[in-house]
A = this chain, B = another copy of it.
Amino acid sequence: MSNYSTRLHEAIKAKQTPTMVGIDPRWESLPPSIISAAEQRSGTQDEIVASAFEEFGCRLIDAIAPLVPVVKPQAAFFEQWGPHACVALARVIRHARKQGLIVLLDAKRGDIGSTATAYAHGYLAGEDPDSANWAADALTVNPYLGSDTLAPFFNVAKERRAGIYVLCKTSNPGSATFQDIAGPDGNLYETVAGVIEKLSAETADSGGYGCVGAVVGATYPEQLTKLRGKMPHVPLLVPGYGSQGGAAKDIDSAFDDNGLGAVVNNSRGINFAFSKSPYDQEFGADRWEDASIAATQRMIDDLAEHTTAGALR
């Protein structure tokens, strides 16, 4: 029976690209037509925002679903607006699943024992969307609390053919504060990588990858190369492409010879392409979905031209 990585790789091969689109709704950046339509509905401000987020998320998904294998909703932007927006998040996730997309929820959860189990049961639906209330295929997880934080997520992921992506070397400038601390087994992120590789190797199937992934930023190409080598059974989630400064050539080492083993995220550059050059001129706010499609296509081509992901074509 195939695991999460094999399901992910089938989706990647079908779309011939490892491009992942983040779903990051921000009220102040939404297309004006979405905002004005939401404001015409009755309700409190948080209800209006929630309805705008749902419409934006679902229409963005409809626009890019034919192009990419996986989307990554960012829980923070929904949670910021309270429980109504959490309802919207759940609907956006279900909508993406119905469109045949793999859904990786970026919520960076982490807790101990039965509390971690509660998160895992609630978020990790894996193959069957109805097996968890949030219906995600995969979830980002924070390792700080230790090995017994990871075990419950790992067990549920294994059982439901879901995936987890453990934070390893993140894309932000301040990631060095703690992640780069040099210990007896290398930097902290290398110690974390060792734990991730061990868990994922246990669940690797004939595809060669297991159910435990790692988050490694495109903004640290040297570490990305080293960590890819240290974690041969681990699917990578590579944030930081585009807005954060990571370029396609920086990401090449994330892929294996078949162009598999990694997904590359772009959120702002695709969500709000309509307000960014050159798409603002070509499409403008009224054709925001076409702008997002064009930006997605450009990223797909960029990765195909400058990385081994071109082998997928």
Give A residues with C-beta under 8 Å from B: 26, 46, 74, 76-77, 79-84, 86-87, 89-90, 108-116, 118-119, 121-123, 133-134, 142-149, 151, 167, 170-179, 181-185, 188, 191-192, 195
Contacts and interface: CB of A to CB of B under 8 A. Distances in A.
Q: Which of A81, A123, A145, A182 has the most CB of B within 10 A?
A: A145
A172 B144 contact: no
Kindly report how many copies of this chain are found in the complex they form together.
2
Contacts of A123: 79
- A-side interface mostly: helix
A145 B74 CA distance: 16
B113 A110 contact: no
A176 B134 CA distance: 31
A144 B119 contact: no
A27 to B, nearest CB: 10
B108 A142 contact: yes
Given A108-B142, A181-B181, A149 B134 contact: no
B145 A175 contact: yes
Contact of A145 (B80, B121, B174, B181): B174
